[in-house]
Structure 1
Amino acid sequence: MTHPPIVIVDKKDNPIGQSDMFEARRKGLIHRIVRVMIEDKDGRILLQRRSNEVYSFPNCWDHSAAGHVDVGEDYMEAAKRELAEEIGINDAELEEIGRYYTENEKGGEKIKRFNGVYRGIVDTTPTHVDPKEVGEIKWFTTEEIRKLIKDQPDKVTDGLIDVLQKYY
């Protein structure tokens, strides 16, 4: 699966260029991603289990939607696009709840990125998911997510753990 060019930024999150997603990870270029948490009126959080076809964290539980900020997009536009592409939600009002920077190494890659975190509330469960990216979706309470992280940490993405610790 090819991906459009992503925004490369400096240490203050100012755009300075563009790159292929894989090149950015190989070279340790700082880039932007979004993480979207969708909740229902009862405060449950909709998580997706990533498909077994995705590049990173296959078959792991993750945010409602997440992805890179493409060239020409801001964080909010990327959040709305990822939400629509991955789980078919086109009408959620999103609010930014935070932004933070992370650096880590995984499989020889240097992953440096600014993470824009968004929250939205919906009153229905989505019925369309992209099977290339999403294995399934399911509503969880925050307590159930914390138990999942404790009992099966290898079945949850690092990003979901970060967001839960920082914002929930």
Structure 2
Amino acid sequence: MEETIDRVDLNDKVIGLTTVRESHEKAYIHRVAAVYVFTPDRELIIQKRKDNGLLDHSAAGHVASGESYEIAAGRELQEELGIVPLRIQELGLLYADERLPSRNHPQVRHYFGIFICDISLEEFNNIKIQEGEVGKVIRMSLGEIIDRMRRNPLDFSPGFIFTINFYIKDRKLDIGSVSII
């Protein structure tokens, strides 16, 4: 049976129930928790998705019906990377309309709850990826990520590009933004 998730409006208010498949087919707005995991040397851990080969958030996933963004973020960290988050900080909420004809992307409209988690070198060395979803993890500086996004935006999930721009703006970083193709 497919997981039930909340359908939300443009203000992130629950307006009904749906499934991931239905929400993508019908362009329903629904919730996703996304986490940026930073190493002690401030590199961001990103993952290469197994299903589509795209580079993506450290961990991310749909928020189950009735679940909070924070609980979903912790669950995804544990499921995808084997990290039990002791320290997780909410960055904010972001609506992203990812309906991108140039990408042949499904009808995806997400409300992202974005979180930050700092891990120790020991925690990094003990990452256990979820082999069904995660192909591999990569450590990159924000500058390296932005440079690569500018050169090859199709290597990245649209949602990751939306949220990285949000992160850059929130942190007032002087590295510019990346356009979505």
**How far did 1:40 drift?**
1.5
Paired letter, 1:26: E
Q: Deviations over 1:93-118 (max 9, x none)?
A: 11111211122325474322211110
Secondary structure of 1:86 counterpart? helix
Partner of 2:14: 15
Paired letter, 1:145: I
Partner of 2:119: 122
Taking every aligned residue pair, what percent have the same amino acid on both sides? Answer: 30
Which consecutive residues of structure 2, in runs of 5 or more, have no partner in the other structure?
169-181
Q: TM-score, normalised by structure 1?
A: 0.89
Q: Which runs of 4+ in 1 moved over 6 A?
A: none
Q: Distance in 2 between matches of 1:9 and 1:148?
A: 33
Query: Which segment drifts farther, 86-95 or 2-11?
Result: 2-11
Bigger share in strand:
1
Measured at CA, do residues 137 and 3 of structure 1 come closer, stay the same or move farther in structure 2, by a change above 3 Å?
farther
Q: TM-score, normalised by structure 2?
A: 0.83
- Is the counterpart of residue 155 in structure 1 residue 152 in structure 2? no
**Paired positions, count:** 162
Q: Distance in 2 between matches of 1:108 and 1:156?
A: 12
Using CA pairs below 8 Å that are at least 6 residues apart, which structure has the higher relative contact order?
1
Secondary structure of 1:22 counterpart? helix
Secondary structure of 1:132 counterpart? coil
Secondary structure of 1:110 counterpart? coil
**How far did 1:63 drift?**
0.6
Structural RMSD (CA) = 1.7
**How far did 1:142 drift?**
0.7
